[in-house]
Amino acid sequence: MLVIMADKLIIVESPAKANTIKKFLGGSTKVVASMGHIRDLPKSKLGIDVEHDFEPEYINIRGKGDLIKSLKKDAKSAKKIYLATDPDREGEAIAWHLAHILEEDEGKITRVTFNEITKGAVQKAIKEPRNIDINLVDAQQARRVLDRIVGYKISPVLWKKVKRGLSAGRVQSVAVKLIVDREEEIEKFIPEEYWNIYVNLLDEKSKKEFEAHLFGKEGKKIELHSKEEVDKILKEIEDAKYIVKDIKKGEKKRTPAPPFTTSTMQQEASRKLNFTLKRTMSVAQGLYEGIKLPQGHTGLITYMRTDSTRISEEARAIAKEEIIKTYGEKYYENRYYRTNKDAQDAHEAIRPAHIELTPDEIKEYLSPEQYKLYKLIYNRFLASQMSAAIFDTMQVSIKANNYDFKANGQSLRFQGFMALYVEGTDEKQEEEKGMLPPLEENQEVKKQKINPKQSFTEPPPRYTEASLVKALEEKGIGRPSTYSPTITTILDRYYIQKEQKQLVPTELGKVVNKLLIENFTDIVNETFTADIETKFDKVSEGNEKWKNVIREFYAPFIQEVEKVEKELEHVELQDEVSDVICDKCGRQMVYKYGRFGKFLACPGFPECKNTKAIIETIEVPCPNCGGVVQVKKSKRGRKFYVCENNPEKCNYISWNKPKLGEKWNPEEQEKVEIEGSKKVSKKTKTTKKKTTSKKK
C-alpha cells in the first residue's frame, strides 16, 4: 500500500482555526484539529496519586478514540509535526498531551505559536519552531491539580451537609464570597440624609442662566444633614446679592483607554453590548480563529486571552497610517501603555489583525454579535493611539452674604479620540456641563430660583459580571481565562442568580459560603487565593517547581478537611422551616434546594414525597386589576411579572416590575413571550413556481 508522506502536519484545536491556516500554507501541508483537550484527569475519581508525589493520572477523554487514531495516522505519514495550539498555558498543555499521545520521535515534533492568525504570523512561526515550554505546562498542571484537590475534597462535605451535586472551587468560592459580602453590606446599610442647595443665576449681559451650588461659609466647607439647617441658610440668603469673586479658566485633557485585555474587553462588552462573559469569549474565539470572507477564512483579531496592553511596533505603524488617513495628523499620538505588574505579558493586547478590514466593510459577512464585538475591539484599538480630547474649563466662586457658592463649566474644544470611541463605566455619570457665560470678577448675577435638594446616601451597588471581573482582577484572583467559566459555574450551581444585570446570592449560595468561611478559611481568603496565582506565575517562569506548590498547599489543607469531616460528622444542618402546611400529611414543609432553585418539600420524605414550588410575590398590586403580582422566570432565567389572575380574569404580564400608582396600557406594554410555554405559529408565505414551456 502506497503511503503519501505529508511534508508538514499542523495540529490546532478547532476546525475553524484549521480552515484559516490552510490557505496560508501550500504544498503538502496538512492542517487538522484536536478539538481541544484530548487527555484529562478522570471525572470518576480524584485522579491524583497523593501517595506518589501528586502524580496526575491522565486518561484519554471519552469519545475521542477515533480522533486520536486519525491524529496518529496523520502523524505517522508526516515528515514534521507542528503543534500549533493556542499561545497560552492551556494551549501549551494541550500540545504536551498531543506530543505524548502521538508517540513520535522528539525531533519530529515541534511547537509553534502565533498571536494572530495572519499569513505573515503563521509563516514566521513555522520558520521559527521551538520546543514545548515545560514551565508553562507545569504551571497549567499546578492549577489543574490544585483545583482538582480542592474540588474533590471539599465537595463531598457540601454533599453531606447541604445537598448533592454542589461544588467548591478555589476561585469560584472567593467570587461567591465577594457577592455574599456585598449583599450583606447592602442589607446592613443605613441611609443617611444630606442636602444640597442649588441656585439658578442669570448673567444679564449674555442673558444666559447657569447653576451654582452651595459649597461653604466664610471659606470653610459645610455639610447639611437636615431640613432645619437648610431652612436657616435659606433665610440668611433670602435677600442676598450674588457677587462673582473669583474666576479660574483652564483646560483639561482626557486621554484614551488602552487597547483591550481579556478582562477589559469582557467588562466593556457587558456594559455596551449587554453580552455575558461567556458570550463575549465565544464570539471573540470565532473572530480570532477566522471568519469566512471572499478571500477565504480570515482571523480578524489577535489572541483574546491576554492581560497585556502592549502592541507591536508593526501594529503601531499601521494604526498611525489609518488614523492620519481617516482623521488627520492632529488626531494621532504615539502612545505606550504601562502593563499591570502582575500581567504575564506573553501576548499583545487584543487588536484587529487586519486594520484595513474595517467593521463596516465586512459587516455583511459577520453575525450581528460578531460585528458588534469586532467594531468594539477595532475602535478601542485605533482610539488608543489617538490624541487626547481637550476641554476648556471654567470655575467660578460666588459670594452670597457669608456663603460661598461654586459653579463649574466646560466645553469640548478638540474631540481627539472621542471622535471614535469613549470608554464605558459602571459608575453613574454626571451630565457634561456646558461652558459658563463670560463672567467678570465683582459682577453681580441675578438669582432666579433656589432649589434645595434632599438626598440619601446609597449602599454600594451589587456586582455585575463586569464589575465582578474588575474586582477579581484588582485583587489578583484568577486569570483572564478563568473569569468566564468561574461566573458560569456559580450561576449553574445556583449559588448566585441574575436580576437584570446584577449578581445576587441565593439562599443556597449564602449557606455554602457560610459553611466554607467557618470551616475552610483559606479557600475563601482573597489574599491566599491571590498568592497561589503568584506561585503559578513563578512556575511558568521556571522559578518554582510545580509539585513544591502542591506539597506546600496539600499538608495543611488535608488536615483541615479531615478535622472538618470529624467535627461535622454528627452535625445535621437543619432545613429552614416554612409556615406552609403539607396538604398530604399535615407536617410543616421545609425549604430545599434543587436544580431550579429553592422549593418546598415535606420533611416526612420518603414516606411523604409532597413538594411545592415557591411563589414569589411583590408588594405592589397589579396595575390592571389590583390583584397580587407574582414573580416568575422564563426558561432563560429572565424574571417577569404576572398577575395571579392571569389568564382567566386579567392579562397583565410584563418584563418590567410594576410601580405603585402606575397605570397599565396593554398597547404600550412590552410583550412577554414565556419561552417554551406555548408555541408561536408564524405565517409563512408560499409562492407558486411559475413554469414556462418553450414552443419548438
CA distance 212 to 451: 10
Three cell numbers written together for 189? 446599610
Q: What is the largest CA-CA distance in the chain?
A: 107
| Preceding peptide of 256 cis, ω within 30° | no
Q: Which DSSP symbol is given to 681?
A: P
Backbone angles phi, psi at 123, to 5 degrees: -65, -40
Residue in 276, 284, 280 with CA at minimum distance from that of residue 302: 284
Is the distance from CB of 125 to CB of 114 less than 8 angstroms?
Answer: yes
CA distance 380 to 42: 42
478: helix, strand or coil: coil
| CA 221 remoteness from chain centre | 40
* Residue 303 annotated in active site: yes
- The DSSP bridge pattern shows strands 403-414 and 39-40 to be unpaired
Query: Which bin fits 641, alpha (ψ -120 to 50), beta or left (φ > 0)?
Result: beta
- 10 Å CB burial of residue 179 (0-12, 13-18, 19+) is buried
Per the CB < 8 A criterion, the answer to whether 337 and 310 are in contact is yes
Is residue 38 within 8 Å of 64, Cβ to Cβ? yes
Query: Could you tell me the three cell numbers for 577?
Result: 422551616
Q: Position of cell 505559536?
A: 113
Exactly one of 82, 242, 288, 303 is catalytic; name it.
Answer: 303
303 residue type, one letter: Y
The alpha helices in 520-581, defined as continuous H runs, are: 526-540, 546-568
Let me know: does 115 contact 99? Beta carbons within 8 Å.
no
For residues 475, 477, 481, 486, the Cα torsion angle rounded to the nearest 10 degrees is -110
Q: What is the DSSP letter of 620?
A: S
Return the bridge partners of 83, or none: 11, 111
- For helices 313-326 and 368-383, angle between their N-to-C axes, nearest 10 degrees: 90
Residue 62: partners with Cβ closer than 8 Å, 6 or more residues away? none
Active site residues: 303
